[in-house]
Structure 1
Amino acid sequence: MVVVSKYIVPRGFTGIALFPFVFLRHASLKEDVLLMNHERIHLRQQLELLIFPFFVFYVLEFIWRFLQYRSCYLAYKNISFEREAYTNEKDLNYMESRSFWGFVGYL
């Protein structure tokens, strides 16, 4: 389910997936096919890791990457979950061909 709320989406981002919702900063972003595909990939990742562990791993990997790169932006871009989503957001058939725990290949 897609919800539009500029208050839930962190500043500097256009959308965020928090299972089972996708929160978008602006209603017009519902039409952005690549963004919606990106967020669907995150929803699948969250479901595969039973939701809560996804966020634990996400935060831990962000901390690790921050210590590695000393940059919030580079840390975010190098989280395995984000690398999978950014790499495959243009492939609109990716969700059909994606293997279970597909993000593991991006670790």
Structure 2
Amino acid sequence: MLNRFRLPMIAVHVPSLWVGGLTVFPWVFFKHAKPPAWLINHERIHLRQQVELGLFLFYVWYGLEFLVRWVQYGHHHQAYLNISFEREAYSNDKNLAYLKTRKAWRFWKYL
């Protein structure tokens, strides 16, 4: 059902941001004023994930999974790249039609 419409997104330019993009539904903070299409899509995937789980559960899960992955991989960047939410977003961010066909709770596939 969610794939039938585009979720609201309020884009905010934050030049001092330490990453390219950061999503806290419905806001998406971008480091650059004109982010590339793949990054916008990446953050839209996170918007969908946050709507499915709710913000609180999304960030609790995100944080706990990060800690588990950090222990697993021994490096914070490897841990970040292996969080299920990030794996889904990075695997599909270049496919700009992904959200039109994405099934609900698809991040489970990336656990």
Contiguous gaps of at least 5 residues in structure 2 = 1-9
Alignment partner, residue 31 of structure 2: 25
Once the two structures are superposed, the pairs formed by residues 87-106 of structure 1 within 5 Å of their partners are: 87-106=91-110
State the Cα distance separating 1:6 from its structure 2 match.
Answer: 2.9
State the Cα distance separating 1:3 from its structure 2 match.
Answer: 0.4
Q: Does 1:71 align with 2:66?
A: no
The alignment partner of 1:99 has SS state of coil
State the Cα distance separating 1:104 from its structure 2 match.
Answer: 0.5
The number of residue pairs the alignment matches comes to 102
TM-score by length of structure 2 reads 0.89
Match of 1:6 among 12, 15, 21: 15
TM-score by length of structure 1 reads 0.92
Distance in 2 separating the partners of 1:41 and 1:83: 11
Distance in 2 separating the partners of 1:48 and 1:97: 15
Distance in 1 separating the partners of 2:42 and 2:98: 10
State the Cα distance separating 1:5 from its structure 2 match.
Answer: 1.2
For 1:105, the aligned partner's letter is K
Q: Considering only aligned residues, what root-mean-square deviation do their CA atoms show, in Å?
A: 0.8
For 2:34, the aligned partner's letter is S
Contiguous gaps of at least 5 residues in structure 1 = none
